[in-house]
Amino acid sequence: KIKKTEKDEL
């Protein structure tokens, strides 16, 4: 699962 903190893209 992708953690919110990993959302470094725009």
Partner 1 sequence: MNVFRLAGDISHLLAIIVLVIKIWKTRSCAGISGRSQILFALVYTTRYLDLFTNFISAYNSAMKIFFIVASYATIFLMYSKFRATYDHNHDTFRIEFLIVPVSGLALLVNHDFTPLEILWTFSIYLESVAILPQLFMVSKTGEAETITSHYLFALGSYRTLYLFNWIYRYYAEGFYDLIAIIAGLVQSVLYCDFFYLYITKVLKGKRLSLPA
Residues contributing to the site for partner 1 (CB under 8 A): 1-2, 4-10
Tell me how far apart the alpha carbons of residues 8 and 6 are, in angstroms, rounded to a whole number.
6
Residue 1 Cβ vs partner 1, minimum distance, rounded to whole Å? 6
What are 6's two structure tokens?
């990993």
